[in-house]
Amino acid sequence: MPPATMPHTEPLPELPRLPRRLRAAAPTWTETTDVCVIGSGVAGLTCALNLRRAGFHVTVVTKVRIDDGSTRWAQGGVAAVLDPLDTPESHARDTQIAGVGLCDPAAVDVTVTEGPARIADLIHLGTEFDRHPDGSLQLTREGGHRARRIVHAGGDATGAEIQRALHAAVLRDPWIRIIEHAMVLDLLTDARGHAAGVSLHILGEGVEHGVGGVEARAVVLATGGLGQIYQSTTNPSVSIGDGVALALRAGATVTDLEFVQFHPTALFLEGIGGDRQPLITEAIRGEGAHLRDFSGDRFMVGAHELAELAPRDVVAKAATARMRAEGRPHVWLDARHLGKEMLETRFPTVTSSCRELGIDPVVDMIPVAPAAHYSSGGVRTDLFGRTSVPGLYAAGEAACTGLHGANRLASNSLLEALVFAQRIADDLAERKPSPGVAEAPEGEGDVCSTTSRAPIQEAMTAGAGVLRSESSLEATAASLTALGDNVSGRPRPATWEATNLLTVASAVTAAAHRRRETRGSHWREDHPDAEAAWLGHLSLSISSDGELDTTWEPIA
């Protein structure tokens, strides 16, 4: 069958030539395991526990400590059909509406169908979700959901509670090896081209430090998001898209990277930047909080039938447009009418965080503005988490399973991680991959100077953020190309991170430039409408000479 014709085929703007390997010192140590899991959030730790139940020895590699990362900051909860009056079909319909025609129906079906069992698994591990006095689970609503199906913990501390339970379970298992403060560099492959482990760099003193390798039968990427390619993000400082960059260098396909979701209500404070923006959970709007402009008007009323509970892209765009019109850096979230008891009991994290910063939600409106929050795209996988590289799997935000389409439905992210972490373990248990012999990587490329990180973030925010156009994206591409020439003579963690940041930013810019329409969380000001010709997926890969190639897969 001939390749599908892309609706728009003019060449991409010039972008940096990207390395196929990171330049690094020769490995000084190696260890062996069955499966190497990269990342220690809900996807990584759940996958590790499921793999142990399947009889595998597991090594978990994490860039920071095992309990750092994005999961513990998740406030809202996990979406699943747990109310007898709710149905998987209703959950699927809400997911597909948010995804604006690009959700994979099969991925949606397995997620909403298997989701309740994965919640039960978390409860069995010891996760303590909030309950009513009669013992039943408390369920709430969030944007885009037409039913109460969000389970939560500690009011608005769901991620922290899930991370606590998973962390405790992992530490109880002596056959899960944990390597903290380690940055994964590149995929190792065997003579067959199958994943055979990873090279990594451990920070610190002792026998096992510096550049080494973990050889394994399979590798699972659960590295989280890529929000740090922007100046303002709810993601922690380590979320720079390491997994996407590694997969691209390894020859894997990434898909839907243009769909970066901006959370509409990150706490706005002057001077915050370069780290995680405090998040004001969507659940507070689910309980009745209002968005207002500087005139006091509820600008979401009349903009969408669900008003403040519209899908996140709709709210983020409306807030950004209102900020532009008023010349203001933020809008207001008004929760005062919810009352002191509701705010302190249901939203203790939001309330205490705001008060620490001099804002009391009981009497003050909260300044909020959109910030990069979640990538609906990532490393392309099938329904069992398999990527286009044999033996390489991906789960969580690093993956593109097809569930989210053009825009993630609120609280579907933790659910997706749980469901596909189980499916990866099931697939590996059935396949029982044989170990291969890792071969020395071929070729090395330059690494970016550490001074490139802030300019990359500035260029992406200016031209590839909430609002995009052909001219803004071409300006971003020009800036990234110039930064690609700013190389460092010393390979080390900061230069590897800058190189990954440049790789991911270039891929997002390429995808956003290609898609000449507005759909979901991708908003092109010069193409403001969704177009039927663009009903499909853009995939990217790195060619042998370091250029980004794009392919088009229409939806029949």
Residues acting as catalytic residues: 312
Cα of 409 vs its chain's centroid, Å: 13
CA distance 185 to 199: 5
Q: For residue 484, give both structure tokens.
A: 């690609």
Helix (H, G, I), strand (E, B) or coil at 120: helix
Query: Are residues 298 and 307 in contact, defined by beta-carbon separation less than 8 angstroms?
Result: yes
Helix or strand run (H / E) with residue 198: strand 195-202
Alpha-carbon radius of gyration of the chain: 22
List the end-to-end C-alpha distance of the chain, in Å, as a whole number. Answer: 14
Ordered alpha helix ranges (H), 357-469: 412-431, 453-463
Give, to the nearest 10 degrees, the angle between helix 493-514 and helix 453-463.
20
Question: Is the sign of the CA dihedral 13, 460, 388, 404 positive or negative?
Answer: negative
In angstroms, rounded to a whole number, what is the distance separating the alpha carbons of residues 362 and 65? Answer: 35
Q: Among residues 18, 22, 24, which one has the least CA distance to residue 503?
A: 18
Instruction: Answer for the pair 24, 201: CB distance below 8 angstroms, yes or no.
Output: yes
Q: How many residues are there in the chain?
A: 556
Are 169 and 60 in contact by the 8 Å Cβ rule? The answer is no
Report the run of H or E that residue 447 belongs to, with start and end: strand 447-448
Q: Residue 153: helix, strand or coil by DSSP? A: coil
**Best CA proximity match to 39, nearest among 70, 2, 79:** 70
Dump the DSSP string for 355-394.
Answer: HHTT--TTTSPEEEEEEEEEES-EEE--TTSB-SSTTEEE
SS3 417: helix
DSSP state of 276: B
Enumerate residues 6+ apart whose C-beta is below 8 A from 192.
390, 436
Instruction: Label residue 304 exposed, middle or buried (CB < 10 Å: 0-12, 13-18, 19+).
Output: middle
What gap in Å lies between CA 425 and CA 64, rounded to an integer? 24
Give me the amino acid identity at 228: Q
